[in-house]
Structure 1
Amino acid sequence: MLVEALLAVTLVAAFAVLLVPSKYAGRLAAVCSLLPLVGAATRTLPSTGRGTRCSAGHPAFETTAAWTSIGGYAVDWHVGLDGISLPLVLLTAVLTTIAVVAAWDEIDERRSLFYALLLFTEASLIGVFSALDFFVWFVFWEFVLVPMYLLIAVYGGPRRRYAAIKFFVYTNVASLVLFVGFVMLVAATPVSTFEFAPIAHAVRTGAVHAAFGLSASALTGVAFLALFFGFAVKSAFVPFHTWLPDAYTEAPTPVTVLLAGVVTKMGTYSLLRFNVTMFPDLIRQWALPLAVLAALTVLYGAFAALAQRDAKRLVAYTSIPSMGFVLLGSVAATNYGIAGATFQMVSHGLLVSVLFLGVGYVEDATGTRMVNKLSGLADRMPVAAAVLVAGAFGYMGLPLMSGFAGEFFVFTGSFAAPYAHAQLVTAVAMFGIVVIAGYLLRLLQRVLMGPFEAPAAVSARSRRDLAPAVVLVLLSIYLGVAPGTFMGAIQDAVGALVTTLGGGL
């Protein structure tokens, strides 16, 4: 009942925060956000060493109950956590608390609504990562869209309405396409349920039959591509990424933390849960084109960031290459590749949040985030400078930080991938790290070094505002020093899946 408890606590907290006066909303939301975090951590962290095998159908903290029936198909309340979803649930809980605390001094109107929407987003994300029935999963998937749209449209920057509508349209179209594709697949299999495990078994054993004027193989291919399209849009793979820079830039910093840190992981997580798990033959068949797409995503995001003068937009583009690394590991069909992709999702969530929080702090103190208007801030803002340096070097893959561990696992697994030219494609993707390092170092040198320059005097800011970023830096260092905290559970969860895919290392 752990998942139900997390959902209940978070939803009750969201409604409670919505009803209290605005001046109390932030503190109450912070306390309430700690409840699922402490509950999830204390119940799950002692268990991460054991792990679970999601593809074997034995997730931990599992609950199944009959719910309803749609068109003769049973819809069950079926939730549970395994080594792939558990780290993402914990990441969601951590970043929600961080976002709530970071918003204390940034959000000064409609606070009760703002914090309630953050907590509702957290509940929806927990549902996405824990659902084991497609209908339940899709309900939570769509629920995330509503609060994120409102958080951008109501509390964002000057172009917030454009960014919010673009985010909504892109992700809503993607949801429609993946929904149609999955329903077509279910209709062409001899199952009478929307649960993941029996559907995946039917597809893997070739139980799909011709339907809708398509042969069995053609229908399977259409469903695979429809699902991949939906997840690619949410993950912002090139060329489906254009909503991301606008949404990240216009959203207030606390919302960007959740959006970049967790919401985009919905797509990469679901790619593992659906495409990789259900279609092993097609993953092997499409591995090279998908790996090339991953490398292009890495390089495009890195080079696009080079052209940015808005520091927040630069960090937004920086997020795209990391999603390319996740895709590269996911299609490798190796234990380290898929496990590394999962670890990279967590690492990216921590480090990109550090960078956004650091940039937001600089903007609040100086009145701008334009790189060409800032210089020499290290002397005036030493703590902020340290946070930005730590986040940037972690992102570049500094050893003993989570960024290095995640990229090392991905590249190790990708080099050993069984598809043709795997080593070449991996090497091309690795070159993206060089470009990332170049523009992040240029950002640090321009903004932190040299004579002081800013549009106005640096305003006095409480160092407490940087406490959330410091916490995330420490967590990144911890995972970099002790990656086994999650890797044991992750590798156990993907072990049987890799056997199905025919992978090795």
Structure 2
Amino acid sequence: MLVEALLAVTFVAAFAVLLAPARYAGRLAAVLSLLPLVGSLYAYTAFDGTGNALLGGTPAFETVVPWVDIGGYAIDWHVGLDGISLPLVVLTAVLTTVAVVAARGRIDERRSLFYALLLFTEASLLGVFSALDFFLWFVFWEFVLVPMYLLVAVYGGPRRRYAAIKFFVYTNVASLVLFVGFVMLVVATPVESFGLAAVAEAVRSGAVTGAFGLSAGALTGVAFLALFFGFAVKSAFVPFHTWLPDAYTEAPTPVTVLLAGVVTKMGTYSLLRFNVTMFPDLIRQWALPLAVLAAITVLYGSLAALAQRDAKRLVAYTSIPSMGFVLLGSVAATNYGLAGATFQMVSHGLLVSVLFLAVGSVEDATGTRMINKLSGLADRLPVTAAVLVAGAFGYMGLPLMSGFAGEFFVFTGSFAAPYPHARLVTAVAMFGIVVVAGYLLRLLQGVLMGPFEAPTAVTARSRRDLAPAVVLVLLSIYLGVAPGALMGTIQDAVGAFVALIGGGL
């Protein structure tokens, strides 16, 4: 019942903060956010799951309770954690506490609503990463959309309404398409429930029949593409990425931490859960074009970042190459590729949050994010400068930080992938790291080096306000020095899939 406890505590915390007086809302939210954080850390230490939850493995903290029957299909309250979902549950709890603490001094109006929406988002994300029934998973998936829309539309920058509507429309259309795709799959199989494991087994065993005027093969392909489209939009793969820079830039810094750090991972996590695990044959067939798409995503996102003058928008574009790396590892269908993709999700969540917190601190201190209006801030904002440098170098793949480990695992697995021209595609994607280093070094040089220049007098935030970013840097270093702390658990979950398809390294 641990998953239920995490969900209940977080939902109750959200309502408690919503009803609290505004002057106490921030402190109350910070304290209450520690409860799911402690619970997730306990889940990490007490984890005893084995294998992959969709491949006959034994999830930890599993609960199955009949819920409702719709049209002859059973919908169950089915939750549990395996080696793929557990790291993202912990990441969600960590970054929610970071976002709540980082909001101190940044939100002046409707504080109770703001902090309640953050906690409601956390609860919904925990549901997405722990649900093992499609209907339950989809409910939580949609729940995330509502608070995130309000957080951007109500508390964002000058173009917040445009960014929020664009985010809502893109992701809502994607949700509709993936829902239709999965329902088609359920109708065309002999399963009697929406359980992910049951549907996955039916698809892998070839139990899909023709329906809706389509042959079995055509219907399976349509379902695969519909699911991929839905997850590609949420993950911001090129060309489905255009909502991301606007939403990330207009959202307040604490909200961007959750958006970039966790919400985007809903798509990449679900890609592993659905497309990769349920359709091993199609993953093999589509591996090369999807890997090419991953390389394009890496290169396009990197080159687009080079053209940005707004530091926050530049950091927003850095998420696109990282999601490309996750896709590259996911379609490799090798142990290191799949495990590296999951590890990269966690690493990116930590490091991109560091960058956004550092850029937010610069904006708070100077009143601007425009790179051409800033220089020489290293002496004026030494703590902020140190955090920005640490985040940037971690993102570039500095050894002994999580960014290096994640990219190393992805590239190792991708080089060994069985699809044609795997090494060439991987090498092209690896070139993106050079471009990433170029625009991040440009950011550091423009903002921190040279003679001091700022449009207003610099007013540094308290060093205590940057403590969350420092904690994230330390976590990145810990995972870089001891990647086995996560990789062992992750590899146990992806190993079952690799064995199923006869993959390698």
Q: How does 1:70-149 map to 2 (within 5 A)?
A: 70-149=70-149
Instruction: Provide the alpha-carbon RMSD of the alignment.
Output: 0.8
Counterpart in the other structure of 1:263:
263
Measured after TM superposition, the shift of residue 441 of structure 1 is 0.5
1:184 aligns with 2:180: no
Measured after TM superposition, the shift of residue 56 of structure 1 is 1.9
Q: How does 1:143-222 map to 2 (within 5 A)?
A: 143-222=143-222
CA distance in 1, matches of 2:372, 2:345: 31
CA distance in 2, matches of 1:167, 1:306: 23
Question: Is the partner of 1:56 in helix, strand or coil?
Answer: coil
Counterpart in the other structure of 1:32:
32
Counterpart in the other structure of 1:303:
303
Q: How does 1:392-471 map to 2 (within 5 A)?
A: 392-471=392-471
Output one character per residue of 1:152-180: Cα deviation in whole Å (capped at 9) or x when no partner: 00000000000000000000000000000
Give the total of aligned pairs.
504
CA distance in 1, matches of 2:443, 2:342: 28
Measured after TM superposition, the shift of residue 43 of structure 1 is 3.1
CA distance in 2, matches of 1:322, 1:427: 15
Mapped contact 1:52–1:60 kept (Cα < 8 A) = no
Counterpart in the other structure of 1:53:
52
After superposing the two structures, state which structure 1 stretch, 453-462 or 64-73, moved more: 453-462
1:368 aligns with 2:368: yes
Output one character per residue of 1:303-356: Cα deviation in whole Å (capped at 9) or x when no partner: 000000000000000110000000000000100000000000000000000000
CA distance in 2, matches of 1:478, 1:461: 27
Counterpart in the other structure of 1:42:
42
Counterpart in the other structure of 2:291:
291
Question: Is the partner of 2:413 in helix, strand or coil?
Answer: helix
Output one character per residue of 1:24-82: Cα deviation in whole Å (capped at 9) or x when no partner: 0000000100001111102322437x754322231111000000011110000000000
Mapped contact 2:364–2:460 kept (Cα < 8 A) = no
CA distance in 1, matches of 2:393, 2:384: 14
Measured after TM superposition, the shift of residue 459 of structure 1 is 1.2
Question: Is the partner of 1:346 in helix, strand or coil?
Answer: helix
In structure 2, the CA distance between the partners of 1:286 and 1:492, relative to structure 1 (3 Å rule), is same
Mapped contact 2:233–2:241 kept (Cα < 8 A) = yes
CA distance in 2, matches of 1:419, 1:43: 37
Counterpart in the other structure of 1:487:
487
Mapped contact 2:332–2:338 kept (Cα < 8 A) = yes
CA distance in 2, matches of 1:461, 1:319: 26
The amino acid across from 2:389 in the alignment is V
Measured after TM superposition, the shift of residue 501 of structure 1 is 2.4
Mapped contact 1:95–1:261 kept (Cα < 8 A) = yes
* TM-score under structure 2 length normalisation: 0.99
The amino acid across from 1:467 in the alignment is A
Measured after TM superposition, the shift of residue 461 of structure 1 is 2.0
Counterpart in the other structure of 1:501:
501
Measured after TM superposition, the shift of residue 499 of structure 1 is 1.4
Mapped contact 2:333–2:417 kept (Cα < 8 A) = yes
Output one character per residue of 1:186-224: Cα deviation in whole Å (capped at 9) or x when no partner: 000001100011110110010000000000000000000
Question: Is the partner of 1:74 in helix, strand or coil?
Answer: strand
Question: Is the partner of 1:232 in helix, strand or coil?
Answer: helix
Question: Is the partner of 1:309 in helix, strand or coil?
Answer: coil
Counterpart in the other structure of 2:350:
350
CA distance in 1, matches of 2:138, 2:251: 25
Mapped contact 1:333–1:502 kept (Cα < 8 A) = no
Mapped contact 2:80–2:131 kept (Cα < 8 A) = yes
CA distance in 2, matches of 1:416, 1:307: 34
Mapped contact 1:51–1:490 kept (Cα < 8 A) = no
CA distance in 2, matches of 1:36, 1:381: 33
The amino acid across from 1:278 in the alignment is M
CA distance in 2, matches of 1:273, 1:305: 30
CA distance in 2, matches of 1:293, 1:222: 19
Counterpart in the other structure of 1:242:
242
Mapped contact 1:257–1:353 kept (Cα < 8 A) = yes
Measured after TM superposition, the shift of residue 238 of structure 1 is 0.1
Question: Is the partner of 2:332 in helix, strand or coil?
Answer: coil
Output one character per residue of 1:462-483: Cα deviation in whole Å (capped at 9) or x when no partner: 1111111101000000010111
Output one character per residue of 1:379-399: Cα deviation in whole Å (capped at 9) or x when no partner: 000000000000000000000
The amino acid across from 1:53 in the alignment is N
Unaligned runs of 5+ in 2: none
Question: Is the partner of 2:308 in helix, strand or coil?
Answer: coil
Q: Which runs of 4+ in 1 moved over 4 A?
A: none
CA distance in 1, matches of 2:500, 2:159: 47
Mapped contact 1:52–1:489 kept (Cα < 8 A) = no
CA distance in 2, matches of 1:262, 1:207: 35
CA distance in 1, matches of 2:39, 2:177: 36
Query: Percent sequence identity over matched residues?
Result: 86
1:379 aligns with 2:379: yes
Counterpart in the other structure of 2:65:
65
Mapped contact 2:14–2:117 kept (Cα < 8 A) = yes
Output one character per residue of 1:354-377: Cα deviation in whole Å (capped at 9) or x when no partner: 000000000000000000000000
CA distance in 1, matches of 2:20, 2:487: 41
The amino acid across from 1:275 in the alignment is N
* TM-score under structure 1 length normalisation: 0.99
The amino acid across from 1:19 in the alignment is L
CA distance in 2, matches of 1:296, 1:428: 9
Counterpart in the other structure of 1:338:
338
Measured after TM superposition, the shift of residue 286 of structure 1 is 0.2
CA distance in 1, matches of 2:47, 2:136: 25
Mapped contact 2:134–2:194 kept (Cα < 8 A) = yes
CA distance in 1, matches of 2:347, 2:184: 35
1:10 aligns with 2:10: yes
